[in-house]
Amino acid sequence: MVNKKIIILLILLFTLPGCSGSNSNSPSSNSSESQIYIENKGSDTIVNLALAWAEEYQNIHPNISLSVTGGGSGTGIAALINNTVDIANASRSIKDKEIENANENNVEPLEFVIARDAIAVIINPENPVEKLSLQQISDIYSGKFTNWSEVGGEDRPIVRLSRETNSGTHVYFLEQVLRLGDKENPTFFSPLTLLLPSSEGIISEVSQNPNAIGYDGLGYITDEVKVVGVSQVGSTEYIYPSVATVNSGEYPIARDLYMYTNGQPVGEIEEYLNWIFSEAAQEIVAELGFVPIIK
């Protein structure tokens, strides 16, 4: 009789709802176990492209959650150094000191060129100036030129706009335009230069101020501003930024755009980066006004 009661009790335990030893049919359990998170942070130049990539990739892979935030190239690289991000976006290459700091934290930055970009020099549509040399742009931003009449424009004061110092675009513009690519050149931005926190902010300010000059990635340019032609030092040929002039090497203010990981990526991060170099992902690069990587 005792054995019979034990058998009946065991049958009840295994047939009552919620008493099973496994809860594999629970949707919340499945989703939490299968969902994979990838954190991507850094360059404001790249952020819209990274968001578009993330949206498309999540449509293809619903189990992947991609968190994309900006803050500037310096912010992304700092997060990489601290090992608090999976992928860091940067519109400039990582510096030797940053690599050294990363290595001290057992982080090995690995670089991927994911697209290319032109930096357009922009002015208000009311400004009659159509072209500037690199030297003139350098002289404007360093404060040597203070009036538009000094570069063929009207008698108006020049209002200089720049991204903030944490921006990779700011660093690139300083090194390649103000200093004309010369590492020994001490030229710096005029202290009267207005520093703005976003690419959209520069577009907005230039579109409203007839005295303003700014610079922005090609993917952010709108019809509200005028792009000027730019010539190399010593050249009389003025080139406008475009996919064609970047790929040909004619436009003088062009750069690579980067993603960095801690060492060789594996698993879902590796698969995501491989997808970024696919034809479908590089089509998004072109759609947003950047320059696809030519294979």
Q: Which of 239, 185, 189, 244 is nearest to 213 (CA)?
A: 189
Average pLDDT over residues 127-148: 98
Residue 279 reports pLDDT greater than 70: yes
Domain match, 106 and 151 both: no
Tokens of 56: 């498309």
CA distance 96 to 121: 28
Domain match, 190 and 100 both: no
Any domain includes 244:
yes
Tens of pLDDT, residue by residue over 176-186, are 999 999 999 99
Domain match, 283 and 201 both: no
Count of domains forming the chain:
2
Q: Is the pTM of this model over 0.95?
A: no
What's the pLDDT score for residue 139? 98
CA distance 122 to 224: 10
Residue 149 reports pLDDT greater than 50: yes
Any domain includes 62:
yes
Any domain includes 229:
yes
Domain match, 142 and 215 both: yes
Residue 9 reports pLDDT greater than 80: no
Residue with tokens 């703005």: 196
What's the pLDDT score for residue 24? 32
Any domain includes 230:
yes
Tens of pLDDT, residue by residue over 166-177, are 999 999 999 999
Domain match, 111 and 121 both: no
Q: Are 42 and 51 in contact (CB under 8 A)?
A: no
Domain match, 110 and 194 both: no
What's the pLDDT score for residue 21? 36
Please state the three-class secondary structure of 172-203 as a single string. Answer: HHHHHHHCCCCCCCCCCCCCCCEEECCHHHHH
What CA dihedral angle connects 132, 134, 135 and 139, to 10 degrees?
80
pLDDT band at 295 (very low <50, low <70, confident <90, very high): low
Tokens of 219: 């993917």
- For 283, the domain range is 37-115+257-287
DSSP type of residue 241? -
Domain match, 199 and 244 both: yes
Domain match, 203 and 82 both: no
